[in-house]
Amino acid sequence: MRLGVISDTHGLLRPEVLDAFAGVDQILHAGDVGSLDLLTELETLAPVTAVYGNTDDSDLQSTLPKVATLQLDGFDIVVTHGHQLGSPTPEALNAAFPEAQILVFGHTHRPLLTVVDVVVTVMTPGGAGPRRFNLPPSVGILELEPGIPPRGRILPLLDFDPE
């Protein structure tokens, strides 16, 4: 199973995301979505599991959960924006959600793919929307196969030019 992982779109769905997510089986959006229309557009590619972030308005907050839990290909997955933990870290997320084998979060806009506690895969895909903190926009891909650790990668959406 191939997952597209995205966060911090803030209402901007770059055309490069559609290319990066071509052929994914499921999309996980880790908050700061910006609009329900953006989720509707992502749903043309694959089913979407999304959570709200700290900048999402009350309509999104009343529609989306703060934390989503799901099981895909035998993996227990938690998706959250992470803002409820202040500045989220893989270790803090693992402590908050010890049942998860895969943790997906946003908020920091800094892409990260790491392993915590030997077996927990943690990914924040970085910010896919408007460029912030002089960071290039990016998304993530996770590939799941029962019985083996998840494989993941971060995909830059644009050639980074700090100017």
Q: Is the pLDDT of residue 90 over 90?
A: yes
Q: What angle do CA 122, 123, 124 make, to 5 degrees?
A: 135
* 22 belongs to a structural domain: yes
Mean model confidence pLDDT for the chain? 92
pLDDT tens-place string over residues 13-63: 999 999 999 999 999 999 999 999 999 999 999 999 999 999 999 999 999
Host domain of residue 32: 2-156
pTM of the predicted protein model: 0.93
CATH of the domain at 131: 3.60.21.10
Give percent of the chain above pLDDT 70.
97
* 162 belongs to a structural domain: no
Q: Is the pLDDT of residue 136 over 90?
A: no
In the chain, how many domains are there?
1
pLDDT at 61: 96
> Can you list the alpha helix ranges (DSSP code H) found in 8-162?
15-20, 36-42, 58-63, 90-96
